Amino acid sequence: MPKLKSLLQTEAAQCGHACLAMVLDYYGREMDALELQREFPSSMRGATLADLIEVAQAAGLQCRALRIELEELPLLQMPAVLHWDMSHFVVLAKANAREIVIHDPATGVRRMRMREASEHFTGVALEASPTAEFRKRELDGGISLRHLVGQVVGLKRSAAQILALSLMLQMFGLLTPFYMQWVLDDAIVAQDIPLLWLLSAGFVLSMLIGAAIGWLRSWCLAYLSARIGLQWFGSILAHLVRLPMDYFQKRHLGDVVSRMESVHAIQNTLSSSFIEAILDGLMVAIALAVMASYSGELLLVSVTALAVYLLLRWATFPTIRRLSEQQLAAAATQNTHLLESIRGIQALKLNAAEAMRRATFDTLMAETTNLGLAIQRFALRLGMANQTLFGLERVLVVGLAASAVIDGRMSAGMLVAYLAYKEMFTGGVSRLIDTWISFRTLRVQAERLADIVLTAPEETGGGDGPDLPRHRPLALEVRGLRYRFSGTDPWVIDGCDLSVAPGETIALAGPSGCGKTTLMKLMLGLLEPDAGEIRVDGRPIHAIGLRRYRRAVAAVMQDDQVFAGTIAENIAFGCETPDPADIEAAAIAACIHDEIVRMPMGYQSLIGDMGSALSGGQKQRIILARALFKRPSLLFLDEATSHLDMDAEHAVNEAVRALRLTKIVIAHRPDTIASADRVLVMAEGRIRGEYRPAALPGASPPPYARSGVAAV
């Protein structure tokens, strides 16, 4: 019978598609998080039941939507998709009259009583089964840790050094039982005092050498761990910042931070447990051979106890994995809530919502803590079982070994040595089992990190053509542009065409939500169009290369941020060796210079996205100065003067208008619109008309006949 695999969503609004992927996997079309993201791109707005049915039918499933009562859940064909909490989807795996088991793409596997389920189930369910067109498929392979780790410079050499030191340390440890045997059987029996002192001196020397080797190994291990962490975290961060904007728009900030923190968990396991597992394996092999030479009967007792322990860990692994998944998901939600509370502290205070926000955070924190306690409680039970099992094994081995000594089949020294080797053997094997379970549990962290590492970065390269000319205006042309957030969403941009001549200033106007900002993001290369083409100076953007294109353009967007640092560092953002004269010139052009020099520290005044004494208008002009510092040939402004008073707005508009470059402006305010050469009116995702402000002095623009066009 096929097994239903739990698959967690990687995006904020991906629950419906994740549920559908679990159903597909159950019927033989294997899915993982990466395949889910590639095959079922979700919308930032979520999915309706109709959307899921459409996608399921395209994948070869026949669906039946039902409205049922809670007590009818056991009658469903499982796995079935349930509508949950009015805004979520889960998969029903099992159901009877008392309880149900669901696979929640947000938290993992959950078992709950019918009374608890009644608080969440909305009464809507979706049955799905394969049709004749359904095709099974196996994935090429799992997520490779090597792929996640990548190349770490000096890893092989450092690992070889640590391994060599560890081998020497193990050899000294394996000699210790022989010391006890020789003292008991040779020195004491023969009453040979010189031999006793010789053995003692030899083993004191070996202990000192072993201590030195142990210290050296620990230092090498700490150095290797730090080196792996530095290189690996840096390379993953470099990959993260190269991901497309679409990746960040679909995820919560706390979830992205939580996935990055998975690096440390994987790093600690790989840098220590992996090498220790190799050494434990070698020590176990040697101890096994020595124990077999002493007594096969005693060895069988230890092997039986270890087999029972292995079965116990194997049987409890699914529970450990489930609890780990739930704790990571809960911790990510808690982090998101905390970050949102800190960033939105002003809104919290203005709405007197501190107590409500604190109560929600306490609930999330309690959930995370309870899951952590559940993991600890489970670990304590395993520890108690381990202690009981190997305590019984130890008593039985000592009894059988003592009988062998009494019968003359073993000497007292052999008994002591065997017991020492037995502890090495059972301890080594149990650590190997625990490490193996840790590696399997580590897959939970690896799958979370894979959402970052295995997501393709945006294509920033280009052809072999020349760079865009600097310090002269550029022409821009858009033809047949179409874009929507997902395959089930309506078109945000639908057949948009426009052209901008070199040096021309174009204003995009229209009602809020008509697609102006989305169009600007497409022209900046932040979003990838579904159809159509954007050409700059007659060349497609991707033929130029996004990196080269962005060096020639600049933008001020609605949600742009200033960064922690000085005003000068923010204006010269991205330039390692800026010229102070260029910084000052950009500030003058943005009409912020006079206000900066009146500050006590001038351009060295510290600012940031929080805790800054700057007004909204000052921040906006510093961001504009940052754009002008690049000396772009093409400038995009998305309501860049929305926080300014009328006089300041007019001054900025006149200063920007005097610049010799091509400008595309989104605006609603009359002064900014009046500064444009042409105004393009957008509605329903396309350009519906245009007019020239200069042709309408002191008058309102004419209305446009087509629906959805607002007067500007």
Predicted confidence (pLDDT) per residue in 425-436, tens digit: 888 888 888 888
Question: Do 315 and 203 share a structural domain?
Answer: yes
Phi, psi values for residue 89, rounded to 5°: -125, 145
CATH number at residue 39: 3.90.70.10
CATH number at residue 335: 1.20.1560.10
- Residue 3 within any structural domain of the chain: no
Phi, psi values for residue 664, rounded to 5°: -120, 120
- Residue 699 within any structural domain of the chain: no
Contact predicate 516/712, CB 8 Å: no
- Residue 140 within any structural domain of the chain: no
Question: Do 434 and 524 share a structural domain?
Answer: no
Question: Do 437 and 342 share a structural domain?
Answer: yes
Measured CA distances, 397 to 194, 297, 346, 359, 423 (Å)? 34, 9, 68, 56, 11
Question: Do 334 and 282 share a structural domain?
Answer: yes
CA distance linking residue 287 with residue 282, whole number of Å: 9
Question: Do 404 and 328 share a structural domain?
Answer: yes
CA distance linking residue 2 with residue 23, whole number of Å: 11
Question: Do 601 and 518 share a structural domain?
Answer: yes
- Residue 467 within any structural domain of the chain: no
- Residue 343 within any structural domain of the chain: yes
Write out the catalytic residue numbers: 15
- Tell me the two tokens of residue 691: 């007019």
Question: Do 158 and 117 share a structural domain?
Answer: no
* Mean pLDDT estimate for the chain: 82
* Structural domain for 443, as ranges: 150-453
In 3D, which of 604, 601, 666, 612 has the Cα closest to residue 637? Answer: 666
Higher-confidence residue of 445 and 665: namely 665
Least confident of 41-45, 417-421, 537-541: 41-45
Question: Do 680 and 602 share a structural domain?
Answer: yes
- Tell me the two tokens of residue 212: 């030195």
- Residue 644 within any structural domain of the chain: yes
Q: Considering 453, 486, 521, which residue would you say is the last residue of a domain? A: 453
Question: Do 614 and 548 share a structural domain?
Answer: yes
How high is the pLDDT of residue 706? 39
- Tell me, what amino acid is at 350? L
Assign residue 565 a region (left: φ > 0; alpha: ψ between -120 and 50; beta: otherwise): left
Question: Do 155 and 114 share a structural domain?
Answer: no
Number of separate domains in the chain: 3
Average of per-residue pLDDT across 645-652? 83
Average of per-residue pLDDT across 507-520? 88
Predicted confidence (pLDDT) per residue in 115-171, tens digit: 888 889 999 999 988 888 787 877 665 555 666 655 566 666 766 777 777 677 767
Asked whether the CA dihedral 314, 319, 323, 328 is positive or negative, the reply is: positive
Quick one: what percent of the chain has pLDDT higher than 70?
A: 88
Question: Do 303 and 227 share a structural domain?
Answer: yes
Contact predicate 528/482, CB 8 Å: no
How high is the pLDDT of residue 478? 92
Average of per-residue pLDDT across 225-236? 79
Predicted confidence (pLDDT) per residue in 378-433, tens digit: 889 988 998 899 889 888 888 888 888 888 787 877 777 788 888 888 888 888 88
Least confident of 73-77, 440-444, 537-541, 645-649: 440-444
Question: Do 501 and 403 share a structural domain?
Answer: no
- Residue 259 within any structural domain of the chain: yes
Contact predicate 113/98, CB 8 Å: yes
- Residue 655 within any structural domain of the chain: yes
Predicted confidence (pLDDT) per residue in 64-76, tens digit: 899 999 888 999 9
